[in-house]
């Protein structure tokens, strides 16, 4: 994308009269309270151990288990083009669609790069985390329980105890 149409400092939005530039500067790619913090609470409630946030890996996964090579991305439905509800932009649709397609292409590239390094990649949609958190944990638990013997810190586990997260 070369240049976004219009003047972002002059065009006002319906969000408290902020200019588009002011509004977009407030959108964060990390530390999003409605997704990342919700996921942290879910992991803690499930007593999952060994995860880290924002490792320096392709795509900068939101959460990762380094020892078992599991990367989890929390994707916003609008920004990554999920069709869960009508999120079609009304203005500058062509520019937004180009931006979303570029995000999807970058996601595919990052998935491929991680898989080539031996990582398992799980992508969780924002709406999936909000509406079906148990399903999200089941998907992660499936990978965690299929990991080779040893916990996320590389220690051997007792044969009578499976290393997994508690379902919520």
pLDDT digits 0-9 by tens, 60-73: 999 999 999 999 99
Q: Is the pLDDT of residue 35 over 90?
A: no
pLDDT-derived band at 167 (thresholds 50, 70, 90) equals: very low
Residue of 156 and 143 predicted with greater confidence = 143
Specify the pLDDT at position 150.
54
Q: Is the pLDDT of residue 52 over 80?
A: yes
Residue of 5 and 114 predicted with greater confidence = 114
What percent of the chain clears pLDDT 70, i.e. is strictly above it?
Answer: 69
The domain made up of 29-145 has a fold known as Endonuclease; Chain A (3.40.960)
28 vs 40: CA distance, rounded Å: 17
pLDDT digits 0-9 by tens, 83-107: 887 777 778 888 888 999 999 999 9
The dihedral built from the CA positions of residue 74, 80, 85 and 86, taken in this order, carries a sign that is positive
**Is the separation of the CB atoms in 140 and 39 below 8 Å?**
no
Best CA proximity match to 127, nearest among 96, 81, 63, 89: 81
**What's the average model confidence in pLDDT over 12-23?**
67
Sketch the domain layout of the chain as residue ranges.
Answer: 29-145
* Average model confidence (pLDDT) across the chain: 80
pLDDT digits 0-9 by tens, 109-130: 999 999 999 999 999 999 999 9
């Amino acid at each position: 994308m070369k240049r976004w149409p219009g003047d972002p400092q002059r065009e006002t939005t319906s969000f408290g009269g902020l200019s588009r530039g002011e509004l977009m500067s407030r959108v964060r790619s990390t530390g999003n309270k409605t997704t990342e913090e919700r996921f942290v609470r879910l992991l803690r409630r499930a007593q999952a151990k060994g995860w880290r946030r924002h490792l320096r890996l392709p795509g900068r996964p939101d959460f990762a288990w380094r020892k078992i090579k599991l990367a989890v991305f929390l994707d916003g439905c609008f920004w990554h083009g999920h069709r869960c509800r009508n999120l079609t932009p009304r203005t500058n649709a062509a520019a937004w669609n180009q931006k979303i397609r570029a995000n999807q292409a970058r996601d595919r590239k990052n998935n491929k790069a991680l898989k080539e390094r031996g990582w398992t990649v799980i992508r969780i949609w924002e709406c999936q985390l909000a509406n079906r958190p148990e399903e999200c944990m089941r998907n992660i638990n499936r990978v965690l329980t299929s990991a080779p013997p040893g916990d996320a810190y590389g220690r051997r586990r007792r044969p009578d105890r499976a290393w997994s997260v508690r379902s919520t």
